[in-house]
Amino acid sequence: MSENLSTPAVHAQLAPDFSLLKIPPRPALLMALQHEMRQASPNTKKFANLIRRDVAMSGTLLQTANSAYFNLGRKISTVEDAIILIGLDHCNAIMSGLILKRTLGLGNKMMARFWDVSEKRAIGISFLARGSRTLSSEVAYSFGLFCDAGIPILKAAFPGYLDTLAIANRKATKEAIEMEDSQHGVNHTLVGALLAERWSISPDVVLAIRMHHTRDALRDPSVSPAVRSLIALNYLVEKAIQEYRGQAESLEWMDAGALASDALHISEADVGNICEALVKRFKA
């Protein structure tokens, strides 16, 4: 399977009418940061200067860098320090997520919870990706944040979407996606993937967003190892988030947990230990 939504095969799946959806264009700051990252030797000073032009973004980046997630053991007080200690690639991933959050907005209480889950997903998948040979932690972080970005866009387009989502969340994965399609003519995996593609996010992330509720992708050899890892890690981290929130067993894990474990080469005991470690990290 191609890893680009621009291919005819994938656009055939994008047949629904997107005219009602307001998919925001790629923000200027993100374009500038991505342009610098694509240079043969990205300039840390230029990257920092771009971030400093946006005072709010600079402050949020420093707040994130000083969070328990990075646990750097020292106070980061400048954007340059953040780039040096965290790494240019990871700072770029963080900035992409912060720009996404600002562009789509916090909204009501439901959306505050949405962003909390998205951030925990990004932290969890990125943390687990550190031991992977096929996946970088910064790509994992971007996927975690962008994974469900289609949800706030659909919420803005369809007044009844949250009711659909509430019912869909109580169904198995395939049924949930089918319900979104039947009620609104489109689902959040398509919309999120389209947003990520238009924002020039990693092709691996774009395809993983499109397929993150497709359990059969976990055993499809035509899907790249990186994409399969992202999808499998998402199932595992979602299970840990459910446990963190004290909720019942994840329906998605019950449906695809065995496939995800096989893809990650982990045992049932490993799953329990990993989820326990992630819950502790979420509480930090």
pLDDT at 219: 94
> Domain with 230 in it: what CATH number?
1.10.3210.10
Distance, CA of 10 to CA of 275 (rounded, Å):
34
Mean pLDDT of 27-56: 95
Distance from C-alpha of 129 to C-alpha of 151, rounded to nearest angstrom: 25
The per-residue pLDDT for 11 is 38
Please identify, among 104, 138, 173, the residue that sits at the C-terminal boundary of a domain: 104
Q: Which residue has the higher pLDDT, 123 or 14?
A: 123
* 13 within some domain: no
Residue 268 lies inside a defined structural domain of this protein: yes
User: What is the four-CA torsion angle of 165, 154, 230, 92, rounded to 10 degrees?
Assistant: -140
The H-or-E segment that residue 146 falls in is helix 137-146
Is the pLDDT reported for residue 4 higher than 60? no
- In 197-246, where do the E strands start and end? none
Q: Is the pLDDT of residue 5 over 70?
A: no
Which amino acid, one-letter code, is at 238? E
As a whole number, mean pLDDT of residues 20-31 equals: 92
Q: What is the count of structural domains for the chain?
A: 2
Instruction: Examine residue 79 and state whether it is found in any structural domain, yes or no.
Output: yes
Give the tens place of pLDDT for each residue, 244-264: 998 867 888 998 999 999 999
User: Measured between alpha carbons, how far is 82 from 75 in angstroms, rounded to an integer?
Assistant: 10
The pLDDT, as a whole number, for residue 8 is: 35
In this structure, the answer to whether residues 212 and 137 fall within a common structural domain is yes
The pLDDT of residue 12 is above 50 = no
How confident is the model over 118-168, as pLDDT tens digits?
Answer: 999 999 999 999 877 889 999 999 999 999 999 999 998 998 998 998 888
Integer distance in angstroms from the first to the last C-alpha of the chain?
39
Q: Give the structural domain span for 92.
A: 26-104
Mean pLDDT over the full length of the chain: 88
Between these two residues, 60 and 110, which has the higher pLDDT value?
60
Asked if residue 114 and residue 100 are part of one domain, the reply reads no
